[in-house]
Structure 1
């Protein structure tokens, strides 16, 4: 141990090494000759000045030998010293860990800021509607996938703008309703939020300018206008304060714009075909109209407390949680009933079997989950709201099969 300690003194440029809890200074000093004694004297003076509270301890005298006992010295430092490791972490290791933690925290905050359930819904809806434009297997070409990918990316950029602007306008409300969001929790400043939403809105329209599809432009432009009017706190705007207008905004974007505009983008811009409104497209628009109304109504049920405090007159605030909850369930069950009838009328046996069975299963799952939801617990209501979004995703898997 003595030789290890003394050997470390030859490297003054490295971090200072520690020494064991009990050190026999005289015995070590006698074993050191020449220049090493000077180094030891320096170490002794350094330790007595730098770490006096660790060196003050019980002194024992046994014959001619004195021992300085350091009972409070940390075990971590002793292990590091005995292993020949520096007292502090290496700078490059520290920097890499700090960089990784910063990146991880940023991505986690951005994930919550982007409201991932809406991102997934937007992407799935565009994939589903794009498949409605497929008339034959040869349509599934690189041109098809390129056009669909361009629409998805542009729409996701606009989606992040819309949900981000809503959070910027609702910081105080979200501190009550959704304190985990980055702006409400303080992870993002208002300036950071504004920078993000502005950048994504610009990127969305820039991508359209590269693609040059007019149906895609109208999808982005109408979404931008309605999303801004829905959230921004300016005179004659902030339409989310009015329950009917708020529901109409969500219905227009989710049910009409997404279905028709992105279908026409694939039909006209990608395939170069004339605009048509097929039976599956009409079904998708009608069904998603019901679903969009349900989402518009249900999203306010978990947020009733904050909406009531800040004067947002949602249907939940006016009618109560339980009544709005069961209105949503009834609307969805009606939509599933219509979907089953449409599926049963299909001339394709495979389409009839899949759509009837699929919608029947979804309707049964909805009813079972609704009956078991405890409306007195906000966590249960929020969990059921996420379940509705899962039903929303599942519907977009069935829509391309309606023929």
Structure 2
């Protein structure tokens, strides 16, 4: 080793390096060889690099965890809002607005569209308020009947559920108070009140089957359709007047809402009996309630066909009235024949078909 060092010193001296320079270069070369071949790392440098890498990794992990948590919360809130009921409310709002606009023959301005959008938002918020309170006070029953709901499945904290309900109620009331007439505001408040009393103790209107059916029929059948139509007329600057179409819509959809109120408990008999919740299905039996629901909705379609036949010419679009409701009646007969009363999945599909026909009716109403 010493001979190598001396030979190198002689060569580098010829080049012009001093002995001090050579010594410095030699020491650095030896250090690099040690680092390369023995993988030695300076503790201070290594620890600082590792800290920086770990900090980046932790920040990435924290960001990913936060985004996943937000995504799960949004999915839980979406399930909490019961999308099938939101769709019904949305279609009711669009249908009522279109009906009023087509009758008035007015050009839709940007201000009217903005006001209509606020009205739709208020209705959806009211819907979330009502179904949210129902889930909060029915957690134990839903663990048996609807274990997929976010509170029953523990996908959502109770505090978040209350936050969503309170914000929905306050914002919905504020929108209707600021943007609409006093009558619409009172109708909105009464709808929220009845919807809340349906589930809130000590009232719990759902304890009595007839009160539960009347509450749902009144809120989703009459208040919703009358309120949307009246609000649109007021926004257009037109005086509200009862006419055959709005009377038919209010009657037909009120009966339909009663059908929904009767059918909604068909798949939930097991949990309702376990927690002593009195419903028509739990008291009378599934088969009797199925027959009642089938006949009531079929009678509703027959009522629509008869009205289309006997109404004076020009009151309705007779071809649309007869053809559409005849087709829907046939579809309903087919769905009722497919039902297996002892099969829960079949009952769920049966209840889903009622909602699908409900959506179809709202698509038809503006063009009657």
Classify the TM-score, shorter chain: 0.7 to 0.9
Q: Does 1:276 align with 2:244?
A: no
Aligned to 1:377: 343
Q: Does 1:189 align with 2:162?
A: no
Pick the structure with more helix per residue. 2
Aligned to 1:266: 232
Shift of 1:92: 5.2
**Whole-angstrom CA distance in 1 between matches of 2:165 and 2:266:** 26
**Whole-angstrom CA distance in 1 between matches of 2:183 and 2:87:** 22
Contiguous gaps of at least 5 residues in structure 1 = 1-31, 47-85
Aligned to 1:352: 318
Deviation sequence 1:108-140 (CA, Å, 0-9, x none): 111110000110101111111122222243243
Which shows bigger deviation, 336-345 or 380-389? 336-345
Q: Does 1:250 align with 2:216?
A: yes
Q: Secondary structure at the match of 1:336?
A: helix
Q: Is residue 216–residue 258 contact of structure 2 (8 Å, CA) maintained in 1?
A: yes
Shift of 1:177: 0.6
Aligned to 1:217: 185
Aligned to 2:207: 241
What TM-score, normalized to structure 1? Answer: 0.76
Shift of 1:331: 0.6
Within a 5 Å distance, the mapping from 1:110-149 to structure 2 comes to 110-134=77-101, 135-149=103-117
Contiguous gaps of at least 5 residues in structure 2 = 1-28, 44-52
Deviation sequence 1:173-205 (CA, Å, 0-9, x none): 001011111111112222221111111101111
Aligned to 2:14: none
Q: Is residue 280–residue 400 contact of structure 1 (8 Å, CA) maintained in 2?
A: no
User: Is the alpha carbon distance of 1:364 and 1:387 closer, same or farther for their aligned partners in structure 2, counting shifts above 3 Å?
Assistant: same
User: Is the alpha carbon distance of 1:274 and 1:362 closer, same or farther for their aligned partners in structure 2, counting shifts above 3 Å?
Assistant: same
**Whole-angstrom CA distance in 2 between matches of 1:203 and 1:218:** 15
Aligned to 1:302: 267
**Whole-angstrom CA distance in 1 between matches of 2:312 and 2:109:** 27
Shift of 1:36: 4.7
**Whole-angstrom CA distance in 2 between matches of 1:43 and 1:292:** 78
Q: Is residue 354–residue 401 contact of structure 1 (8 Å, CA) maintained in 2?
A: yes
**Whole-angstrom CA distance in 2 between matches of 1:223 and 1:286:** 17
User: Is the alpha carbon distance of 1:390 and 1:89 closer, same or farther for their aligned partners in structure 2, counting shifts above 3 Å?
Assistant: farther
Determine which structure has more spread, i.e. the larger CA radius of gyration: 2
- Taking only aligned residues, the RMSD between alpha carbons, in angstroms, comes to 2.4
Which shows bigger deviation, 373-382 or 241-250? 373-382
**Whole-angstrom CA distance in 2 between matches of 1:36 and 1:223:** 83
Aligned to 1:17: none
Aligned to 1:228: 196
What TM-score, normalized to structure 2? Answer: 0.83
Shift of 1:143: 4.0
User: Is the alpha carbon distance of 1:88 and 1:142 closer, same or farther for their aligned partners in structure 2, counting shifts above 3 Å?
Assistant: closer
User: Is the alpha carbon distance of 1:36 and 1:396 closer, same or farther for their aligned partners in structure 2, counting shifts above 3 Å?
Assistant: farther
Deviation sequence 1:59-79 (CA, Å, 0-9, x none): xxxxxxxxxxxxxxxxxxxxx
Deviation sequence 1:322-357 (CA, Å, 0-9, x none): 110121111111111111222333634992112211
